[in-house]
Structure 1
């Protein structure tokens, strides 16, 4: 993107964008410089443009605050603000430093932390930037999505001290009628207006109770943090949750044997027209990439969908002579495109004997020889950086086309089925939990579980080799 197309004030310094704005004439003596600038900490032009608009509003707020402190009347401040960049009413604040002629500028602590000066947006940014909280990429994405919706409904410029129980109840009621993916279906429509559509039209699919409660829980965690940091005295959203009508154990079910038979006898496995639009039509082509292997890996490893889809070729290794999946956020190339749900998710999972018989290691070797970095590079990288998003949507369609769809089942049902198969094989519970990345250990003593380096790969292989699904025959896959 050429610099002439960048918005006013945006520039590239090295590989990082920065935003620069002129100091109004009436404040130059106070600031001691003619311009202020802010590093946007990104090399992405599209993200820099959004952050630039945010920076303009935040700097506008800072100018307005300096005038207020100086004692200017409202009319004088309004007149002077015409010389600024940005609109204060839509301001969002962040913790990125503002620099004036290479000097870091910041409001005085008294001004910055005064209750009526702390906006919801400012508190949100401090919460997300808190270095004492470690969040994986997916969790951070969920918080960012929640922030966007909450600020749309409540208003990012609303002082944190003005958020009351009634404010939170209003947020709750709007969320109850919020259409699924409203920002994609109704572009340029506010969350509140989209919710009005969802409330008036019974055909519009709205977010389910689980997602609604997840929004409220994440917003509640922000307010709990604000209480702990003494920005507010109490959490006004406490207890605002919709009663679940489905028991947690019934939200997801393992695939039945009949469903598994239909999945693994579908044209993708028996022969389809092609691997793209013709995947559900009979033909002579057997899938070779993600559409063939990801479901099999889920069935025989119990790994989460994203853990599988983000694998590097280098993540399939021989460890002490055992072929394993190495599930980790780390990359041998130094890449940072992987994420895990929690600390326990980092683990090794030996390949099931059936995967070895089906030629999975031959597939890996072909990818390695081709110079591929990602094991499933045939999956597009989603807008949020997760290859699993595209596969999840395709798999939902695949279940329908293969007549394997049923209530409470989805890709995650493989994980439920793996857990049941491990129970039926009487595999030691501690080993199962480690194979699946469910916890750090057996649950008796976290301190004890922290000692040592864990099970030998051969022990884990001997355990996973016991996983079987009576009634499911995969021998036809050996003939491909």
Structure 2
């Protein structure tokens, strides 16, 4: 038998009451009753009120909402999805970011059955994630708090909203997850499809800017730069290569000795994914970047010879890839710390600004955008750059383009 009054008191103000199994006074048996909505509560109260009356037949049945299987919940399917991403060879950063979006989704809307996900759940998610503070998992004031507690605290602290690009990435990751659920026949439709998406043009935002000439002068000031870099090959060469190639920090930090090659008399570096630990942002990233003359004049090929003599396979073996997110993380952090000491303190400024600097100055020098794309690894206007790994007919064109780039700084010479 069951204490009806106690049950009603227990469920007061709760939407997550679970009743394993009880027998009511009228003989009706309840098994795995799961109450999570106001309608569930209303039906249960009506059932309790009627339980004192005799039942017409011992076979009377009562419709109750069964507790969902653990395997049906958002958390379970999220874990399987992440395992599938690993199995498919997605890089560690993609998996980490997908895990973060799913963690926030569950924390905001609850660990509910995926079959019940709706467009309103998605709207709730985006309304709330707009308050998620930057670097929340690393900040002392948020340690040990749940997602909802972090959001509540962030609202009281008037934290700045995340960048629109960050919100767009959440949308992309969740859409990938929902489409995966649909393909696995766990849901019938992607609940994001009903939401009005921001126009692409409106969603675009500047993800950084070029260095000013004053900033470049401060970064490569001979005494300061040599003091910071001379005992670390990656500090010495990666900024120089970034300045004159526009390559991403990870692309440069992961270079192997075999990536340096002379083709048709033109020395350059392969940006590719041929050796352990190397990664690419996309298929357009595969390219051969000629080495600019100032980099050659600074002694880069002599450095390459020294690496070969030392028996190293990687150009910058001091840079680790401990977490699988790429060899560029340490380089990026070290450079960011250095430029702050040199007066470049604006948020978001770092190695990527070299990429903006090269592209901006080449465009001002009237270099065709198609040629700039071949150097930087952006998608070309015809969308075909991905198949041109070296594209020898345009090598001279790229050499000429890099010759049009002027940094107005003097690179220090490499001393063997």
Whether TM-score is above 0.5 comes out as yes
Paired residue secondary structure (2:403): coil
Q: Which residue of 1 aligns with 2:132?
A: 178
Instruction: Find the partner of 2:268 among 315, 324, 328.
Output: 324
Q: What residue is the counterpart of 1:293 in the other structure?
A: 237
Cα pair 2:371 2:398 within 8 Å, conserved? no
1:434 CA drift (Å) = 1.7
Residue 160 of structure 1, aligned match among 114, 131, 134 = 114
Does the 8 Å contact 1:352/1:461 carry over to 2? no
Structure-1 separation of matches of 2:284 and 2:199 = 30
Cα gap change, 1:286 to 1:431, in 2 (>3 Å)? same
Change (3 A) 1:468 1:405: farther
Deviation at 1:231, TM superposition (A): 3.1
Q: 1:182 to 1:380 in 2, by over 3 A?
A: same
- What's 1:362 paired with? 302
State the SS of the aligned residue for 2:267. strand
Residue 253 (structure 1) aligned to one of 209, 224, 243: 209
By how many angstroms is 1:265 displaced? 0.8
Cα-to-partner distance string for 1:255-312 (whole Å, 9 max, x where unaligned):
111211111116442x42xxxxxx3xxxxx8354222211111110111111111222
TM (norm. structure 1) is 0.62
Are residue 169 (structure 1) and residue 107 (structure 2) matched?
A: no
Q: Does the CA-based 8 Å contact 1:350-1:464 persist in structure 2?
A: no
Match of 2:187 in 1: 232
Equivalent residue, structure 2, for 1:303: 247
Structure 1 residues 365-424: Cα deviation after superposition (integer angstroms, max 9, x where no partner) = 222222223322223435344232222222222222111344664321211121123223
Q: Does the 8 Å contact 1:253/1:413 carry over to 2?
A: yes
Which residue is equivalent to 2:410? 474
Deviation at 1:438, TM superposition (A): 0.8
Residue 132 of structure 1, CA deviation: 11
Shift of 1:320: 3.7
Matched residue, 1:8: none
Q: Secondary structure at the match of 2:191?
A: coil
* 1:463 has 2:400 as partner: yes
Is the Cα–Cα contact under 8 Å of residues 299 and 418 in structure 1 kept in the other structure? yes
Larger radius of gyration: 2
Residue 331 of structure 2 corresponds to 391
Select the structure with the greater relative contact order (CA < 8 A; seq sep ≥ 6).
2
Cα 1:163–1:174 change in 2 (3 A) is same
- What are the residue-to-residue correspondences of 1:32-431 with 2, within 5 Å? 118-125=72-79, 127-128=81-82, 129=84, 135-155=90-110, 157-185=111-139, 186-202=142-158, 207-227=162-182, 230-238=185-193, 239=195, 248=204, 250-265=206-221, 267-269=223-225, 271-272=226-227, 279=228, 286-331=230-275, 335=276, 337-406=277-346, 409-431=349-371
Q: Distance in 2 between matches of 1:139 and 1:467?
A: 36
| Residues 302-357 of structure 1 deviation map (CA, whole Å, 9 limit, x = unaligned) | 111111112223222233433221111111xxx2x121111111111111111111
TM-score, length-scaled by structure 2 = 0.71
Classify 1:131/1:140 alpha carbon distance in 2 versus 1 (closer, same or farther; 3 Å): closer
- Aligned-pair RMSD on alpha carbons? 3.6
Any unmatched runs of 5+ in structure 2?
1-29, 33-67
C-alpha distance in 2 between matches for 1:179 and 1:405: 20
Contact persistence 1:174–1:195 (CA under 8 A): yes
The DSSP-based 3-state class of the residue aligned with 1:237 is helix
CA contact (8 A) 1:425 1:466 kept: no
Q: 1:465 to 1:207 in 2, by over 3 A?
A: closer
The number of equivalent residue pairs is 347
Q: What is aligned with 1:433?
A: 373
**Bigger shift: residues 393-402 or 127-136:** 127-136
Residue 137 of structure 1 deviates from its aligned partner by 4.6
SS at match of 2:106: helix
